[in-house]
Amino acid sequence: MSTHAHHAYHDKVKVTIECTKDERVYIKMLAAKAHVNLSELILSYLRIDFPRKPNKETLEAHQEAISGGGIECRDLDDFLEQMGVNPRALD
């Protein structure tokens, strides 16, 4: 085991989930069908709602907006036009 992998293992904690025996069997079957372990199966559902760090482009756009840059739109149609989309195409 590499130093990095060993370190990563020790940063993890265990979580206990209470369920019936039938639920446990079903969860294990779902994990096997997805070719993942129980942890990955459960985390794959939960990660959808985990907070994410914004990427560089998002941070730059946010800073630009705070500084008064960017574009202003009167309404949704104006926004779509500035983005190069025909607003009537959505009707």
Q: Report pLDDT digits (tens) over 66-88.
A: 898 888 889 888 888 888 887 67
Q: What is the mean pLDDT of residues 19-48?
A: 93
- DSSP secondary structure letters along 6-24: HHHHHT---------HHHH
23/41 Cα distance (integer angstroms): 14
Confidence of residue 36 (pLDDT cuts 50, 70, 90): very high
35/28 Cα distance (integer angstroms): 10
Q: For the chain, give the mean pLDDT.
A: 84
Q: What is the mean pLDDT of residues 35-51?
A: 91
Tell me the one-letter amino acid at 63: Q
Sequence spans of domains, the chain? 1-51, 53-91
Q: What are phi and psi of 85, to 5 degrees?
A: -110, 135
Q: Does residue 41 have a pLDDT over 60?
A: yes
Exposure class string for 44-78: b at 16+ Cβ within 10 A, else e: eeeeeeeeeeeeeeeeeeeeeeeeeeeeeeeeeee
pTM: 0.46
